[in-house]
Structure 1
Amino acid sequence: MADPAGSDRRAHLRGPHRYAYGRYTGGADPLAPPVDLRAAVDRLGQEVMEGSSPSQALQELLRQGIDGRTGLDELTRQLWERRRDLQRRTNFDGTLQEVRRLLERALEAERTALQPQAGDDARFREMQLDALPSDTGGAVRELSAYDWQSAEARQAYQDIQDLLGRELLEQRFSGMKEALQQATPQDVARIKDMLSDLNQLLEHHRDGQDTTAEFERFMQQHGEFFPEQPSSTDELVDILAERSAAAQRLMNSMTPEQRAELAALTEQAFGDPQLAAQLAELDAQLQGLRPGGDWDGRSRVRGKGADPMGLGEATRALQELGRLDALAEQLGQSYPGARLDDIDLDALREALGSQASADARALADLERELRGQGLLTRAPDGSLMLSPKALRRLGEAALADVVESLGSRAGQRQTRRSGATGEPTGASRPWAHGDTEAWDVPRTLLNATVRRAGGDTRPLDVTDVEVVDTERRTRAAVALCVDTSWSMVQEGRWVPMKRTALALHHLVSTRFRNDELALITFGRTAEEVELGNLVALEGAWMQGTNLHHALLLAGRHLRRFPDATPVVLVVTDGEPTAHLESDGTPHFSYPPDPRTIAATVEEIDRLTGRSAAFTFFVLGEDPRLVAFLDTLARRCGGRVVAPSLDGLSAEVVADYLRTRR
């Protein structure tokens, strides 16, 4: 779609045809790239690691938007802004004001005509006019049988009846007000026939009868009254029920005095009380067929704006307000089972434009892709979880940050390919049947050259081939013990701790698959957890740093793999303040109980006896903690590292690599 007035317009002539090129104005760019799933997973992971549940993280992502796409919050704000604008300019008193104006004109013209007349009849008529009820509805109703003496007054009263008829029909049927500008008695008769047939059709439909044929006959006879051209009875009911509900909400939005006036006036529509009765029957049938509609007025609003509206126009305004409210509810996603696929994109386009609809569709596509590509899964309890695929993506990103901080040497290690049996030794050896190591190309070519110099003319022989010599990799059993006490959350160490676990887990699972990694959390008690549970772990206020329990679990993990090199990595920001009693219950004390210190040291000694390599990563600047860990390190031959929060992941990964070497 070209923009004929756009500054970028270009014209091209080819034969008899002329082509115009310009900026696309049909909405969102159809060639725009889709939302980046990797960026979405990174955002989700960050939210989850900061303590949000995956469901909350996804909701926050959709609320804020991504990749330049407007989020649900901004779309909702725009909807409410449009709603406020509509309310500010809406005045539902337009029909009543027009009726009052016509009534005053009729009474003034009638009094003017009666004044020069002599006789009791003229005086009696003046008394009738003076005794009219003060409310407009009552006055119009009483004048229905009055014999007007003034042609101008009679016409003004007739205009009141026609206006009321047109407005009442416009409330229920779109376009009727304009079509009935010069309504004749024959037009009114046709409308009454249509309403009679419509009420009969709806009655049969309500009773469960098959109304297919009856609906087709109805549309053939009365289709001119329904520009929407419904295709079935149900669709016809949906169209009429929406407008009827809006008309009911309009009545609810009026003052009691206005409702009373309007109720009295409706009987005078086209001067035929039967028309109002048929419309009332129609409203009742529609409410019975669609009881779940907004009949009571969730969209109720007091119309006090500057623009008086007729009943039909005000009903359309109430319809629009109802649609805006429904859209706001869909965008809010606060009801059970909410999905972005629930959003009515066509209604959103009408309300806010094509770009808003395109943004909402992009967000819905993102949610669908996150689920469809297995990045979000359901736990047995029904809650949303990051899938292993998403965790691998987060681990990859965390490890990439570590590699960058470690420098080129660590980066080379991550990308280097090793032989199937282990690490290169720097030497080579003759190829033997079954070897799968990489060829040592320089040695192989040198062997072939020497052989050919001796007179052998073959270009290459199997005896020339030498392969890179490797040594068997050392298998490691690694226990990463991370402190999850409240101080880790309070001091901003929660996310760096999780990113450390992600990076190490990804490194082990992708580059050192023979190694065995256990993730152990410790607060008041300790627990061996899966990566997904650690990433989604929420901080909880609970006192206790039970390093003793964590070391017990670490020892259990190391004993599972007696042939592997034992490695224990401890990340903590506080002294041990809890230990397990002999019956398995945790004991907490601050300052630390000597029994807690003794139990922790005893477990350190037990693991040291199994030749475990220890590294303690101390966070914060607690001198008591530093002194305690220094003592433990000297006792077990381990190391103490005091990294910054930004450098924690790199230090842990580098220490793991150093220990393996």
Structure 2
Amino acid sequence: MHFKYQQWDERFSKGEYQSPFDSLWDTFQELLTIASGEVSQALQWLNQLDNEYGLTDDFDDYGIGDFIKELEERGYLERNPAQNTLQMTRKTERSLRRRSLEEIFDNLKKGEFGSHQTDHTGRGLERQPETRKWHQGDDITNIDSHSTMMNMLKHSNIEKLELREGDIRVHDTDHYTSVATVLLIDLSHSMILYGEDRITPAKKVAMALSELILNKYAKDSLDIVAFGNEAWKVNIEDLPYLKAGPYHTNTKQALQLARHILHRRKYANKQIFMITDGKPSCIIENGEIYKNSFGLDRKIVNKVLDEAVKCRRDNINITTFMIARDPYLQNFVRELTEANKGRAYFASLDTLGEYLFEDYIQNRKRRFK
């Protein structure tokens, strides 16, 4: 074990002090997300920021080189022996997901949404004040000891205390639904066009949602699907590395793959969240791509709407998060939403996470029809 000693700073006692590593670590994680996990690119940007803004000027004998060394010592970076380059570790991937979750929740107003209960009572996490008779199989941790004791005393005396089954009262609990979710992320070229980075906020939302489900709603399921010319499933660990490419937008295949994934999930509640900034511009016919980047091609749009109807018949709700406000795209979103009887949000990049998280929370309260 290694210890580092440094001069006492009054900010320690006030909780205001950040070590040189912590000061650089948050910035570096943001750069890693933007760089899609390319460590060399993120470090190059960090050096440029340091040269321009003096990130390390206030640190005593601590520079970017020391930061890189500490990243390796702490297990955030490791050497790739084959390429002799630095790469992220699983620890860093988890940290990026956790940071994304914290960032989104920091932007949410307190008390805007609850803890996903339904209007039905049953086994859950939050106790209700009402009580009922105990039934076999009820969790004994929910026994109302005060009411149970009072019931027992009604037919007992000081010499003999007799507890009967009918005396036992238990608290009802809120019933928490389990939800199977597929998150669709558009990786088409338009996600990085016009000088606006739309893919980074989409990745952050996906990382945050996966971290939330993994840690708080373990009984839920989350699958990630990326789509461009085609659609493919993405592992949660791969999220930081996603990049927009020279792709068209195959919305039809994305919805189809999501529907097939949800068929295998044994959940009563199933939903699709789709993050996109453009219109559907291609489909696959007879193994070849049919594409049209100009306007709304009815041949492509109708195939997408057909898939939306199939999802509706399978009780799969589609919520579309459109991160572009082009008027002609609103017509497509309106048609898609009507075909599926789902929901749509025209979200800015700043509010994307808030919209998606609030919708996810609310959906866990209801039973889909």
Question: TM > 0.5 between the two?
Answer: yes
Q: 1:452 to 1:609 in 2, by over 3 A?
A: same
How do 1:101-250 residues align onto structure 2 when only pairs under 5 Å count? none
| Distance in 1 between residues matched to 2:282 and 2:264, nearest whole Å | 26
| Distance in 1 between residues matched to 2:64 and 2:29, nearest whole Å | 22
Give the aligned partner of residue 448 of structure 1.
149
| Distance in 2 between residues matched to 1:577 and 1:603, nearest whole Å | 15
2:339 matched to 1:635?
yes
Q: Helix, strand or coil: the match of 1:409?
A: coil
Give the aligned partner of residue 654 of structure 1.
358
* Aligned amino acid, residue 402 of structure 1: I
Write out per-residue CA displacement over residues 341-381 of structure 1, whole angstroms, 9 at most, x where no aligned residue: xxxxxxxxxxxxx943x54784255223342xxx3356797
Write out per-residue CA displacement over residues 148-195 of structure 1, whole angstroms, 9 at most, x where no aligned residue: xxxxxxxxxxxxxxxxxxxxxxxxxxxxxxxxxxxxxxxxxxxxxxxx
| Distance in 2 between residues matched to 1:435 and 1:37, nearest whole Å | 50
| Distance in 2 between residues matched to 1:656 and 1:465, nearest whole Å | 37
How do 1:501-516 residues align onto structure 2 when only pairs under 5 Å count? 501-516=206-221
Give the aligned partner of residue 547 of structure 1.
251
Aligned residues: 341
Q: 1:642 to 1:381 in 2, by over 3 A?
A: farther
| Distance in 1 between residues matched to 2:261 and 2:317, nearest whole Å | 14
* Aligned amino acid, residue 302 of structure 2: A
State the identity as a percent: 24
Give the aligned partner of residue 12 of structure 2.
none
Q: Helix, strand or coil: the match of 2:273?
A: strand
| Distance in 2 between residues matched to 1:420 and 1:506, nearest whole Å | 26
2:323 matched to 1:619?
yes
Whether contact under 8 Å (1:428, 1:467) holds in the other structure is yes
Give the aligned partner of residue 47 of structure 1.
31
* Aligned amino acid, residue 96 of structure 2: L
How do 1:47-86 residues align onto structure 2 when only pairs under 5 Å count? 47-52=31-36, 53-58=38-43, 60-61=45-46, 71=56
Give the aligned partner of residue 395 of structure 1.
97
CA shift for structure 1 position 58: 4.2
Give the aligned partner of residue 108 of structure 2.
406
Q: Helix, strand or coil: the match of 1:521?
A: strand
- Deviates most, 547-556 or 384-393: 384-393
Give the aligned partner of residue 468 of structure 1.
171
Give the aligned partner of residue 225 of structure 1.
none
CA shift for structure 1 position 658: 1.6
2:203 matched to 1:518?
no
CA shift for structure 1 position 626: 0.8
* Aligned amino acid, residue 504 of structure 1: L
Whether contact under 8 Å (2:187, 2:247) holds in the other structure is no
Q: Helix, strand or coil: the match of 2:242?
A: coil
Give the aligned partner of residue 86 of structure 1.
none
Write out per-residue CA displacement over residues 39-73 of structure 1, whole angstroms, 9 at most, x where no aligned residue: 6553333112213513432454467569x9965xx
CA shift for structure 1 position 588: 1.9
Whether contact under 8 Å (2:33, 2:240) holds in the other structure is yes
* Aligned amino acid, residue 403 of structure 1: F
> What's the TM-score once normalised by structure 2's chain length?
0.77
Write out per-residue CA displacement over residues 312-355 of structure 1, whole angstroms, 9 at most, x where no aligned residue: xxxxxxxxxxxxxxxxxxxxxxxxxxxxxxxxxxxxxxxxxx94
Q: 1:622 to 1:364 in 2, by over 3 A?
A: closer
Whether contact under 8 Å (1:420, 1:436) holds in the other structure is no
User: Whose strand fraction is larger, Structure 1's or Structure 2's?
Assistant: 2
Whose RCO is larger (CA < 8 A, sep 6+)? Answer: 2
Q: 1:402 to 1:428 in 2, by over 3 A?
A: farther
Write out per-residue CA displacement over residues 10-60 of structure 1, whole angstroms, 9 at most, x where no aligned residue: xxxxxxxxxxxxxxxxxx935578847666553333112213513432454
Q: 1:64 to 1:438 in 2, by over 3 A?
A: farther
Q: Helix, strand or coil: the match of 1:524?
A: coil
Give the aligned partner of residue 559 of structure 1.
263
CA shift for structure 1 position 547: 0.7
2:184 matched to 1:481?
yes
Q: Which ranges in structure 1 are unaligned for 5 or more consecutive residues? A: 1-27, 75-353
| Distance in 2 between residues matched to 1:391 and 1:523, nearest whole Å | 24
* Aligned amino acid, residue 647 of structure 1: T
Give the aligned partner of residue 21 of structure 1.
none
Q: 1:429 to 1:386 in 2, by over 3 A?
A: farther
From 516, 519, 528, the counterpart of 2:233:
528
User: Whose helix fraction is larger, Structure 1's or Structure 2's?
Assistant: 1
CA shift for structure 1 position 404: 3.6
Whether contact under 8 Å (1:51, 1:537) holds in the other structure is no
| Distance in 2 between residues matched to 1:60 and 1:36, nearest whole Å | 18
* Aligned amino acid, residue 115 of structure 2: R
Give the aligned partner of residue 422 of structure 1.
124
Write out per-residue CA displacement over residues 290-329 of structure 1, whole angstroms, 9 at most, x where no aligned residue: xxxxxxxxxxxxxxxxxxxxxxxxxxxxxxxxxxxxxxxx
| Distance in 2 between residues matched to 1:369 and 1:411, nearest whole Å | 40
* Aligned amino acid, residue 42 of structure 2: A
Q: 1:385 to 1:422 in 2, by over 3 A?
A: farther
2:6 matched to 1:29?
yes
Q: 1:604 to 1:561 in 2, by over 3 A?
A: same
* Aligned amino acid, residue 172 of structure 2: D
Give the aligned partner of residue 495 of structure 1.
200
Q: 1:379 to 1:502 in 2, by over 3 A?
A: farther
CA shift for structure 1 position 569: 0.8
| Distance in 2 between residues matched to 1:36 and 1:465, nearest whole Å | 58
* Aligned amino acid, residue 565 of structure 1: N
> What's the TM-score once normalised by structure 1's chain length?
0.46
Q: 1:543 to 1:376 in 2, by over 3 A?
A: same
Q: 1:51 to 1:365 in 2, by over 3 A?
A: closer
Whether contact under 8 Å (1:402, 1:650) holds in the other structure is yes
Give the aligned partner of residue 593 of structure 1.
297
Q: 1:438 to 1:608 in 2, by over 3 A?
A: same
Q: 1:360 to 1:380 in 2, by over 3 A?
A: closer
From 265, 272, 277, the counterpart of 1:568:
272
Q: Which ranges in structure 2 are unaligned for 5 or more consecutive residues? A: 10-16
Q: 1:364 to 1:390 in 2, by over 3 A?
A: closer
